[in-house]
Structure 1
Amino acid sequence: MRRGRSRYQREAIKVSEAQARIHPYVRAGQTETISLHESHGRYLAEDIYANEHLPHFRRSGMDGFAIRSEDTQGASREQPVLLEVQETVPCGSVPNLPVTSGKATRIMTGAAVPDGADAVIMIEMTTSIEKDGKNYIAISREIEAGQNILPIGDEVTKGTLLLQKGQKINPGVAALLATFGYAKVKVYQQPKVAIFATGSELLDVDEALVPGRIRNSNGHMLAHLLLSAGAKPILHTKLPDNVKQAKKAIIRAFDEADLVISTGGVSVGDYDILVDIFEQWDGQMLFNKVAMRPGSPTTVGVYRDQFLFSLSGNPGACFVGFELFVRPTLWGMQGKSNLELPTFTATLLEDFSKPSPFERYVRGVTSYQDGKVYVKPAGVEKSSVTLTIKDADCLIIIPSGGRGASAGDLVKAISLKE
């Protein structure tokens, strides 16, 4: 097996520098047009403009009566104004009659305000009276023009930019698209991502345990992380412990996938074959060590404009590497313009005294009390531990050095919530 200088002599770069080396190679993918009801979680591939006013008719903001405000001039408890109720307009219907002097129209919230009316008085502010077989309302106060009426274009005027290209479609975005009749939407295609796990110790998930071997949990974790990031995972069988065969499998995967992820085999052990593949392939290696814990051997390269992310085989390190490097890349491939990870400042609830020469990214949980944000480790902080991944909603950033951090310290954290 070939040995190169890069196996043992690696340049450790900061996380921010590693991310900066990735970003120039991130490209938005192809687009497609799909139905609105299939678009949840996808990213818009075009700007969306209002194609009409909202509302496009004068709309009542209350259940009440559409009236002319001038008819209420001088109204008081001692001398109320009587207006004849001429019709009722439910929501979704169109008024048949304009409101003229001395008339009122019963109207529901959201219904079209009839011509001639310039105010809607709440039903609670009126008294119903029947007189000579006709229905009237008594109003005992003056009403201002425009009250409880939403004018045309009050919320949005035609031609307004509603949503920018790269916006993720969530329930609120879907409601807006539906409001303006966008039954079909142009979105970026979901990146297809091939997943490989390395290691002769790995068993398939349905195989029985045997001494010295473990099941391939990273492959399935990555598949679910990819789904959460809007990608389509292609889960492959494990890579053989043969550099030539493994390299061939990875290169072949670029024909079916937009991006390839491997997990394991990136350290400096005798069987860490990804190191040899990066030394032998025709692609460009962007970096092969990051000044972080866990996951410092994380290696990223580009092969014919496609990424190969080689993440640690330890579950915790694999998880952190995905969140720091793969997820932002997938955002960019789906047209998202801002690839910055969402960060926040919080108070550390527990001491974290584990020293590290590198910045540490601790799987954490967030809580709120008395208007303040708190974080604490999700459990035992070891890169080999899987259990804490399920509870983590943030990555707590512990500065490098021998002290760690103490309870009560303000720390920076990366939110894993979307």
Structure 2
Amino acid sequence: MAVQLQGETRFSRRAVKVDEAIRLVVEATEPGRHEKVPLWETNGRYLAEPLVATTDWPPFARSGLDGFAVRSADTAQASPSEPVTLRVVDTARAGELASAAVEPGTAVRIMTGGAVPLGADAVVMLEQTVDAIVDGRPAVRVKRAAEPGQNIAPRGEEFRRGSVLAEPGTKLRPGHVALLGTFGCADVPVFARPRVAVLATGGELLPVEAPLEPGRIRDSNSAMVAALVQQSGGVPLLLGRVPDEPEAAARAIAAALAQCDIIITTGGVSVGDYDVMASLLAGLATAAPSGSHLREAAAPSAFAAPSGSHLREAPAPSAAAAPSGSHLREAPAPSAAAAPSGSHLREASAPSAFAAPSGSHLREASAPSAATELPPGSRLLFNKAAMRPGSPTSAAVVGGKLLLALSGNPGACFVGFELFAGPALRRLQGASAAEALPRQATAKLAVSFAKGSPHERFVRARLHTDGGVLYADPLAFGKSSMMASIPDADCLIRLKPGSIGAEAGAIVDVILL
């Protein structure tokens, strides 16, 4: 089968600023499916529905410590030199109710968390009392006057029945787990983990377990992306490798749409003759509506830190046959006439995808077949980002779902995931648009770093502190095609556009990984 090429449009792709590209990706995604999970599995998940208190809390007046429940009026004259003696009529253990009320001149021994008995309006701590026997009966000598309400948590002090415990979009933490358990939330409604189809393109790719062959390499990107998906809370679906043929890629994407919430591809996005994803997206690029969502002006920063933190805030098989030798799973392909039901991405009308660019020099003389068309409403978000590494990174909405086409170079693939896929996955899981953005801080540059490209540069680096100052140290082997520095990177230094770079000691923005 002849390969459909990109044509002249490969050299006229418009670079979108990184902040704008992130904004487009986040705006194209919305929180998705709901599910209920056991309470103990909710840590790190995002709440899908509001949860309210099912009772007042505390549900009864309870003691804040071990001591004696008393009438405060009975202790008004108490002092260390002249303690007040009260007769002990009962003991209130946690989980039990006292059988006797506190009458004038009496007290009830009470444990932490115990229900305060009727008649008592204060609890005297054990250390301010002395045990005694009066007329052969147990008593207590109180050495300090008690104030009304002392050491008592009144009913409803923390929550009233019906008050909101957590709103939708709340990222649940262990403290929330304790709170929800208190009110009997055994199964909690959360946003489902996004199902992420991972597809690798390139005829040069071999399975990881295969021996190397001349001119070929193993597909390590798919496993890396799958690990990053898991780290980001998603569920990866590794759907294998796709040949450098647009029709085969379109079929693989159609099959993936039937089983996933988002598609991530690696490779095939540059300007080479056989860059299949770029060839497919070229049709979308030329068909984008005039006055589209792509902004010409510089966008405000898309990165934000959590409120109150030290981080600074800133603005398989398809309807057609699967490719021979493919590892795609068997699944019916979605209809080309409609987006899958339950889609979570915003729809926008757009001409049918994958029409050949006007005036292009594609080898195919006839119009592209139906196998290279995507569902109506598919639209390009961007097909080039003003960044290094990974400038050919592309994004589109296909059949109502986000497709991210990342670079095949490992370093660029890693950076592209952190900048674009991470935010999209957080948003799909219920994070707000602001919370979904990469977290950014500032640090001192440990060593000087030169850059030749005028585009914004994202440098893999390691953070360390010295004298209370945070430093970012660029790692060696930082080129787009290199992977040796990926395991050690815990941040990306964000160097501003321009060809100068930055000197050692300069304050730089860093994206926390």
Common fold, TM-score beyond 0.5?
Answer: yes
CA distance in 1, matches of 2:273, 2:395: 20
Structure 2 gaps of 5+ residues are: 283-353, 355-372
AA in 1 matched with 2:158:
E
1:277 is matched with 280
CA distance in 1, matches of 2:118, 2:156: 17
Please identify, of 346-355 and 189-198, the stretch whose mean Cα deviation from structure 2 is larger: 346-355
2:445 is matched with 348
Structure 1 gaps of 5+ residues are: none
AA in 1 matched with 2:182:
T
Alignment of 1:402 with 2:405, yes or no, is no
AA in 1 matched with 2:59:
H
Cα pair 1:25 1:305 within 8 Å, conserved: no
1:361 is matched with 458
Which of 375, 386, 392 is the matching residue for 2:483?
386
Cα pair distance change 1:46/1:112, threshold 3 Å: same
Cα pair distance change 1:69/1:267, threshold 3 Å: same
Which of 215, 219, 236 is the matching residue for 1:216?
219
Cα pair distance change 1:317/1:179, threshold 3 Å: same
2:236 is matched with 233
CA distance in 1, matches of 2:159, 2:225: 42
Cα pair 2:244 2:276 within 8 Å, conserved: yes
In the TM superposition, what are the counterparts of 1:117-196 in structure 2 within 5 Å?
A: 117-196=120-199
AA in 2 matched with 1:32:
E
Query: Once the 2 structures are TM-superposed, how far is the Cα of residue 203 of structure 1 from its aligned partner?
Result: 2.2
Query: Once the 2 structures are TM-superposed, how far is the Cα of residue 229 of structure 1 from its aligned partner?
Result: 2.1
Residue correspondences, number: 416
CA distance in 1, matches of 2:103, 2:460: 68
AA in 2 matched with 1:51:
T
Cα pair distance change 1:30/1:210, threshold 3 Å: same
Query: Once the 2 structures are TM-superposed, how far is the Cα of residue 120 of structure 1 from its aligned partner?
Result: 1.5
Query: Once the 2 structures are TM-superposed, how far is the Cα of residue 355 of structure 1 from its aligned partner?
Result: 4.1
1:337 is matched with 432
Query: Once the 2 structures are TM-superposed, how far is the Cα of residue 331 of structure 1 from its aligned partner?
Result: 2.2
Cα pair 1:88 1:107 within 8 Å, conserved: yes
Secondary structure (helix, strand or coil) at the match of 2:241 reads coil
Cα pair 2:477 2:483 within 8 Å, conserved: no
Which of 197, 200, 203 is the matching residue for 1:200?
203
1:265 is matched with 268
Alignment of 1:18 with 2:24, yes or no, is no
Cα pair distance change 1:392/1:86, threshold 3 Å: farther
* CA offsets 1:373-397 (integer angstroms, 9 cap, x no match): 3333354422223233333333221
In the TM superposition, what are the counterparts of 1:238-317 in structure 2 within 5 Å?
A: 238-279=241-282, 280=354, 281-282=373-374, 283-317=378-412
AA in 2 matched with 1:194:
A
Secondary structure (helix, strand or coil) at the match of 1:11 reads coil
Secondary structure (helix, strand or coil) at the match of 1:206 reads coil
Cα pair 2:51 2:165 within 8 Å, conserved: yes
* CA offsets 1:157-188 (integer angstroms, 9 cap, x no match): 22222211112233222222111111122222
2:317 is matched with none
CA distance in 2, matches of 1:77, 1:37: 49
Which of 413, 416, 424 is the matching residue for 1:318?
413
Which of 17, 33, 36 is the matching residue for 1:33?
36
Cα pair 1:85 1:103 within 8 Å, conserved: yes
CA distance in 2, matches of 1:247, 1:285: 15
AA in 1 matched with 2:409:
N
Please identify, of 360-369 and 305-314, the stretch whose mean Cα deviation from structure 2 is larger: 360-369
Cα pair 2:281 2:383 within 8 Å, conserved: no
CA RMSD for the aligned pairs? 2.0
Normalising by structure 2, we get a TM-score of 0.76
Identity of aligned residues (%): 46
Cα pair 1:199 1:265 within 8 Å, conserved: yes
Secondary structure (helix, strand or coil) at the match of 1:208 reads coil
Normalising by structure 1, we get a TM-score of 0.93
Secondary structure (helix, strand or coil) at the match of 1:389 reads coil
CA distance in 2, matches of 1:237, 1:175: 42
CA distance in 1, matches of 2:469, 2:152: 40
Cα pair 1:356 1:404 within 8 Å, conserved: no
Please identify, of 206-215 and 143-152, the stretch whose mean Cα deviation from structure 2 is larger: 206-215
Query: Once the 2 structures are TM-superposed, how far is the Cα of residue 261 of structure 1 from its aligned partner?
Result: 0.8
* CA offsets 1:278-323 (integer angstroms, 9 cap, x no match): 1334432211110111111101111121111100111221111112
Alignment of 1:75 with 2:78, yes or no, is yes
Cα pair distance change 1:254/1:360, threshold 3 Å: same
2:342 is matched with none
Secondary structure (helix, strand or coil) at the match of 1:172 reads helix
